[in-house]
Structure 1
Amino acid sequence: MKRQYWIVPSLAAVLGGIGYGVAQNLPPRDAADLRSSVQTAPAPVPAASADEDFTPPTLSDRVSLGYRRKGDENFAEVRVSTVEPFVDGVDRRLVASVADGAVPPVAAASAALAPTASRNPGSNGATAFLTKVAAAGDAAAAADMNAAETADAISPAFEATPLSSRLLDADEPAWQSRFFADNPLVGGIFQGDGNRADAASLIGAARTARYVLLGETHDNPDHHRLQSDIVADLADATADLSLVFEMIPPRLGSAVSAFGTPRAGAIDMDSLADRLEWSARGWPDFSMYRPMFETARREGLAVFPGNLDRDVVSSIAQSGISALSPEMRTRLSLDAPADPEIVADLTEEVRSAHCGLMPEGALATMADAQRARDGAMAAAMIDAAQSGDKAVLIAGSGHVRDDRGVPSILQRTDPEAETISVRMLEVDGKDGDPADYGLKAEMPAPYDFTIFTPRADRDDPCEALRARMEKKAGTVAN
């Protein structure tokens, strides 16, 4: 961007006395030379001493000197600086150039920059100095432009920067999860059709949406860091934002009721995990989720429970949705017949999630329980958005699918509102093609955006589930 520098002198630099005021900022030798040259200038105005009263210069007293090279367009930016003192980096370099005589020669100013007196009295004193300052400004501006061009060649533009590099805390390692961190997809953001996206488009879409759903792998710390930073970014641009957590059931809602109220500052974060029975209910280490709650407290965000109570889930798993009251079925969007294809897909997902170890007879009611939980989170999102401008869901990635998860329910129940789903996805080995993860133009993934991350360090969950089931079977047999 082209710049115009206006040189605005102090009282001591008004008219012919401008050189004296600047000379106070120069090394002794250069200052003496400059004072000597000013003495030959016509009608100098003496500088006021430190203990004399003086009146600041009026607009008519100010001297402006614009400069630009031939062919430059109108300046888009104007930099205003005072001759005394020089306050920023460009001005310090400028005065140093003038003092050291290190200004590149320019044809138009060659006479004025001559070290000896000229027949033209304006070639010394204030006129010469202003011309010299202008030449030094050109040199400084050119150096800035060259530096900026070099930086642009080395650093990617904001829109091309991976979301992780822009949002994650620079004081921490780029990734806490280390498996397959060298996969070329890590840190990349993609649309459902496999086209590459960027941080700006993701955050821009989230800012315009009423419902934002951030899907995670529960035990991956980087997923929670990304969620926390995205929420903080949204909070900066949204007057009223609420959070809904899959991890919190209604019976524990009192533990988070102070968030978003004047009482939020008194929330004891050290005891929050115990009050939420976090470990007892089987969720991963609370330290991964705590930054999100810290963000909510700091930004004044309300927090809502999004899940179902355990006794409700158990009754559905045993008897199906018929165990629910008509009012509850309506709230959970279970009062209409389910699409058989969606039910079949969800049943297969439940089978896979439980490593094929669950009895076939239990899968149908477990799929009903999953549908009920999606309905509970959708209802909580609608409630939360009524309390504010925007609601953000923190949940497992399966719940934020837009084909059969929470987004599909929101689209049916609040069709005028915009919904954005974002999936944090662990890379699998060295596969570096988005199509390997279901992001294809011919059959897009059921998420608006996918952010790739390394894989967390974990034991085989199927082995752990197998051990628990064998232990339970042994206990029943005895």
Structure 2
Amino acid sequence: MKRQYWIVPSLAAVLGGIGYGVAQNLPTGDATDLRSSVQPAQALLPAASAEEDLTPPTLSHRVSLAYRRKGDENFAEVQVSTVEPFVGAVDRRIAASVADGAVPPVSASAALAPTASHISSPNGATAFLTKLAAAGDAAAAADMTAAKAADAAAPAFEATPLSSRLLDADEPAWQSRFFADNPLVGGIFQGDGNRADAAALMSAAKTARYVLLGETHDNPDHHRLQSDIVADLADATADLSLVFEMIPPRLGSVVSAFGTPRAGAIDVDALADRLEWSERGWLDFSMYRPMFETARREGLAVAPGNLDRDVVSSIARGGVSALPPEMRTRLSLDVPADPETVADLTEEVRTAHCGLMPEAALSAMADAQRARDGAMAAAMVDAARSGNGAVLIAGSGHVRDDRGVPSILKRVDPEAETLSVRMLEVAGEDGNPADYGLAAETPAPYDFTIFTPRADRDDPCEALRARMEKKTDAVAN
């Protein structure tokens, strides 16, 4: 409803205007339906005086009303202003009492009945509006008491899983702000573009042996969603393990106490340093910390999922054939790669590196990507073997089911259910799932996609270009 300002010169107009608003918006005789508040300006409450103040009228002498009926949306504020200011010492004391909460509550019906008054006001509007405001104050106070009781009984907002808030709240507290008003934000969709919800996603996750949660590494909301899903799974599944792309095998001892009786002694504050988090190029550890805290609290095992740097270096120098046979078998590199899959993966690597990498390097980088997928799949199988299931925390490219970790899991453990979930940033104002490849004709290679706002970041291509130029200059000099 549009904001309205009524400026009226007489008692008749004041009462007529208020009567219209009440008739339109307020059922009579029900004090709980009245939503009124008085907002006296300081100019309304000077010290009481025996003589009337004949100060020229100003719009600061007004009462603001906001009211609605049960079930209606909030009405916009309606401000009623008299041309004549509130005058007289009695009027001032009444207004001061209302502001101090000293006026006893009156019923809505009594407030709305313009009875005779002894107040020494030339038009009586002050008395009527004061009684109306008192009734509104009483209703508002009752509502406030009820709201406080409800808030006390309800869990804190941040304690409610974001996966649930996607359903239960109209405006989840997203930390990323870009394109947060896109209609897809907060939506959960199946690969074919059909809308799903958190209940369906969690139901599928609880029956899967392998759950893969794909992220954009620098988006904090993706990590919050992952943490909430992991916490929900931990409540329903015993002996769950977490496998992290961010942890290589050589640092496995750092997280070996998770899921054991020694987990209570883990110093989460020290994990970032012990895992060489920033030194190895990973982003702010605080985004991942809640998952480690959940693992410690819920008794979840934590396992490394990546490759050690020396293995990646061997692949870069000599390709997959440079690895020992037993390692190639573990990484599922002992079977010929599908040429179309390799071509798609190579193009993905080229795009991810902004087209700045030399063509000669792309093949080795694609091999390293395949090896990482194999390493994470092997870690998931190992983790699930000792428990009831495993969850992978990795970049979204690794959890696609056409050529990523899920495709390997389906080959090496075909009887197990695998669920792939992608957290996806919206791109601008596009609000059609098909614009993101979610359609029946071209289903996305993920079982579920959760849309989020886009994180605030600099152009990664510019950063990569600057690093490469710096490296080139250093070689030249």
Normalised TM-score (structure 1): 0.65
Whether contact under 8 Å (2:163, 2:228) holds in the other structure is no
- The answer on 1:285 being equivalent to 2:290 is no
Instruction: Summarize the Cα distance change of 1:213–1:246 in structure 2 as closer, same or farther, 3 Å threshold.
Output: same
1:137-168: CA deviation from partner (whole Å, max 9, x where unpaired) = xxxxxxxxxxxxxxxxxxxxxxxx99645279
Aligned length: 317
CA distance in 2, matches of 1:393, 1:164: 17
Match of 1:402 in 2: 401
Partner of 1:336: 335
Aligned residue number for residue 300 of structure 1: 299
Q: Distance in 2 between matches of 1:205 and 1:335?
A: 32
2:124 maps to none
Counterpart of 1:260?
259
Partner residue in 1 for 2:173: 174
Q: Specify the code of the residue in structure 1 equivalent to 2:202.
A: I
Alpha-carbon contact 1:346-1:367 (below 8 Å) kept: yes
Q: Is the 8 A contact 1:209 1:390 kept in 2?
A: yes
Deviations 1:105-139 (A, max 9, x none): xxxxxxxxxxxxxxxxxxxxxxxxxxxxxxxxxxx
Deviation at 1:310, TM superposition (A): 0.8
Q: Equivalent residue for 2:4? A: none
2:7 paired residue number: none
> 1:208/1:165 Cα in 2 relative to 1: closer, same or farther (>3 Å)?
closer
> In structure 1, what is the Cα distance between the partners aligned to 2:331 and 2:167?
35
Aligned partners of 2:268 and 2:239: how far apart in 1? 22
Report the counterpart of residue 440 of structure 1 in structure 2: 439
Distance 1:275 1:167, change over 3 A: farther
Q: Which whole-Å CA distance do the structure 1 matches of 2:362 and 2:266 have between them? A: 40
Structure 2 match to 1:205 = 204
CA 1:208–1:302 in structure 2 vs 1: closer, same or farther (change >3 Å)? same
Tell me how far 1:443 sits from its aligned partner: 1.3
SS at match of 1:457: coil
Amino acid corresponding to residue 297 of structure 1 in structure 2 = R
Query: CA separation of 1:169/1:440 partners in 2, compared to 1, >3 Å: closer, same or farther?
Result: closer
Given that 1:167 and 1:226 are in contact with CA atoms closer than 8 Å, whether structure 2 keeps it comes out as: no
Provide the rounded CA distance (Å) in 2 between the counterparts of 1:267 and 1:442. Answer: 49
CA contact (8 A) 1:167 1:230 kept: no
Q: What SS does structure 1 have at the residue aligned with 2:178?
A: coil
- Secondary structure at the aligned position of 1:416 is classed as coil
Answer yes or no: is the 8 Å Cα contact 1:162–1:188 preserved in 2.
no
Q: Map of 1:460-471 to 2, 5 A cutoff?
A: 460-471=459-470
* Deviation (angstroms), 1:317: 1.5
Give the AA of the match of 1:433.
N
State how far apart, in whole Å, the 2-side matches of 1:419 and 1:178 are.
32
CA distance in 1, matches of 2:168, 2:277: 25
Identity score, percent: 89
Report the Cα distance in structure 1 between the residues aligned to 2:307 and 2:254, rounded to whole angstroms: 16
Amino acid in the other structure paired with 2:450 = I
User: What SS is found at the alignment partner of 1:465?
Assistant: helix
8 Å contact 1:167–1:229 — kept in the other structure? Answer: no
Task: Give the Å deviation of 1:169.
Answer: 12
Which runs of structure 1 show a deviation greater than 3 angstroms over 4 or more consecutive aligned residues?
161-165, 167-170
Across the aligned residues of Structure 1 and Structure 2, the Cα RMSD in angstroms comes to 1.7
Whole-Å Cα distance in 1 between the matches of residues 263 and 286 of structure 2? 19
Note if 1:233 corresponds to 2:232. Answer: yes
Q: Which letter maps to 1:408?
A: S
Whole-angstrom CA distance in 2 between matches of 1:162 and 1:288: 15
Match of 1:321 in 2: 320
Question: Is the contact between residue 162 and residue 189 of structure 1 (CA under 8 Å) also seen in structure 2?
Answer: no
1:388 equivalent in structure 2: 387
**1:240 deviation in Å?**
1.2
> What letter matches 1:447 in structure 2?
Y
Q: Secondary structure at the match of 2:357?
A: coil
**In structure 2, distance between residues paired with 1:325 and 1:318:** 14
Letter in 2 for 1:465: L
Unmatched 5+ residue regions in structure 1?
1-160
Amino acid aligned to 2:177: R
Verify the 8 A CA contact 1:162 1:198 in the aligned structure 2. no
Cα distance in 2 for residues equivalent to 1:281 and 1:376: 18
Task: Go from structure 1 to structure 2 and tell me whether the alpha carbon gap of 1:164 and 1:230 turns closer, same or farther (over 3 Å shift).
Answer: closer
1:238-272 deviation digits (Å, cap 9, x = unpaired): 11100000000000001100000010010011110
| TM-score, structure 2 as length reference | 0.65
Give the AA of the match of 1:362: A
Matched, 1:347 2:346: yes
Offset from partner CA, 1:154-199 (integer Å, 9 cap, x none): xxxxxxx9964527999x9610000000000000000000000011
Is the Cα contact below 8 Å between 2:162 and 2:228 reproduced in 1? no
One-letter identity of the residue aligned with 1:356:
G
Distance 2:192 2:281 in 1: 35
Distance in 2 of aligned mates of 1:257 and 1:305? 9
SS at match of 1:263: helix
Does the aligned pair in 1 maintain the 2:166–2:187 contact within 8 Å? no
Paired amino acid for 1:385: A
1: CA distance, partners of 2:161 / 2:435: 20
Pairing 1:92-241 to 2, within 5 Å after superposition: 164-166=163-165, 174-241=173-240
Residue identity matched to 1:372:
A
Give a deviation string over 1:202-243, Cα, whole Å, max 9, x none: 000000000000000000000000000000000111111000
Q: How does 1:347-426 map to 2 (within 5 A)?
A: 347-426=346-425
Cα distance in 2 for partners of 1:276, 1:169 equals: 37
Distance 1:260 1:342 in 2: 37
Shift of 1:314: 1.4
Q: What does residue 68 of structure 1 align with? A: none
Give the whole-Å Cα distance in 1 for the aligned partners of 2:346 and 2:401. Answer: 17
CA shift for structure 1 position 389? 0.2
Letter in 2 for 1:401: R
SS of residue in 2 equivalent to 1:404 = coil
